[in-house]
Amino acid sequence: MNGKERLGEFLQTRRSQLQPEDLGIPDYGERRRVPGLRREELASLAGVSVSYYTRLEQGQSLNASPQVLDAIGRALRLEEAERLHLHNLARSSATGPCRGRRPAPERVTEATGQLLEVLVHVPAIVTGRRGDVLAWNTLGHALFAGHLDPGAPDRPAERPNMARLVFLDAHTRALYADWPAKARAVVGNLRLVAGRYPDDTALHALVGELSAKSADFASMWADHRVTACAVATYEMRHPLVGPLTVTQQTLIEGPGQDQDQGQNIVVATTEADSPARTTLALLAQVSPQYDSARPGTRAASGSG
């Protein structure tokens, strides 16, 4: 699918999700052949001509101005991350067909590695822009993927991918009491990344794989929802220590200083003096300790 098609599909899908009554548009008892707003209704709300909006949705109009895109975004009731995604899609459609390029190997930057080293008492993982786990500390491994080899992130061919784990791994699915909420957040963030990096062939391959293997993913992907995974609270059900509520936060959200890295550090925090804080401390005690600089080896000190 090229940039024009992606833009048109996004606009058409989001238009179909808006109900006229929610926007104060009378329907006079008419039965609509298709759900959502008509093109002329959306064009009127955005202050553009019907013919122009139709050409834009059909991929026949290029170089839409930021002002027009913002007006359409407001008419579609898009949130900030969704408006950014709309601009990314329009930019991609204007540059013509993307040449798929071989993605550069992802490595943990020195600054990110230093930050991970000091997060000793907080579960933390470093992910690349496609959700591949590039590194994790002991608690991050224990909380999110204790059933996997702790040294896997250091072997590119074996790196866990968070989207694959959420949709295809039974252990990870069982971790979240409200799995659909976690799944929607993963898909929404992946949509945002796909708009930002339209020529990333590895990302397109990941989406294709998940669509083929998971009906849940395929359904959520078709919704065109976009989410920036910055802060979210989840109730987790850990097989070793039981339930705990954590707030997952993205400390470094790509693209950062290095446009090609797009690395994130995701940490899981708990409220002070809460049962979850006690549960997390218990997890630290019962989890095997290993040296994050030499994955797969026991640490020289700790609770091992």
pLDDT in tens, 49-92: 999 999 888 877 767 888 999 999 999 999 888 888 898 888 87
Asked whether the predicted pLDDT for residue 151 surpasses 60, the reply is yes
Asked whether the predicted pLDDT for residue 137 surpasses 70, the reply is yes
Q: How far is CA 242 from the centre of its chain?
A: 26
Angstrom distance (rounded) from CA 54 to CA 45: 14
User: Can you give the pLDDT at residue 298?
Assistant: 38
In this prediction, residue 288 has a pLDDT band, given cuts at 50, 70 and 90, of: confident
Structure tokens at 159: 């790196």
User: Can you give the pLDDT at residue 198?
Assistant: 86
- Fill in the amino acid letter for 231: V
In this prediction, residue 301 has a pLDDT band, given cuts at 50, 70 and 90, of: very low
Q: Where in the chain is the domain with CATH 3.30.450.180?
A: 110-286
Mean pLDDT, residues 168-184: 97
In this prediction, residue 217 has a pLDDT band, given cuts at 50, 70 and 90, of: very high
Contact 166, 172 (CB under 8 A): yes
In this prediction, residue 244 has a pLDDT band, given cuts at 50, 70 and 90, of: very high
In Å, the largest CA–CA distance within the chain is 75
User: Can you give the pLDDT at residue 299?
Assistant: 44
Long-range Cβ pairs for the range 59-66 (8 Å, 24+): 59/4, 59/5, 59/7, 59/8, 59/93, 62/93, 62/94, 63/94, 64/90, 64/94
Mean pLDDT, residues 278-304: 63
Q: Can the peptide bond before residue 255 be classed as cis, meaning omega within 30 degrees of 0? A: yes
> Residue 164 in 3-state DSSP?
helix
- Residue of 219, 188, 203, 213 lying closest to 85 (CA atoms): 188
- Assigned CATH topology for domain 110-286: Beta-Lactamase (3.30.450)
Mean pLDDT, residues 220-225: 91
The residue to which tokens 């969704």 are assigned: 82
User: Can you give the pLDDT at residue 205?
Assistant: 94
Contact 213, 168 (CB under 8 A): yes
> Residue 62 in 3-state DSSP?
coil
Phi and psi based region of residue 20 (left: phi greater than 0; alpha: psi -120 to 50; beta: remaining) = alpha
In this prediction, residue 300 has a pLDDT band, given cuts at 50, 70 and 90, of: very low
Q: Where in the chain is the domain with CATH 1.10.260.40?
A: 3-94
Which CATH code fits 3-94?
1.10.260.40
**Around Cβ 205, how many Cβ atoms within 10 Å?**
13
- Residue of 72, 63, 71 lying closest to 91 (CA atoms): 63
Mean pLDDT, residues 236-242: 96
In this prediction, residue 254 has a pLDDT band, given cuts at 50, 70 and 90, of: very low
Taking the whole predicted model, whether its pTM rises above 0.85 is answered as no
Mean pLDDT, residues 12-38: 78
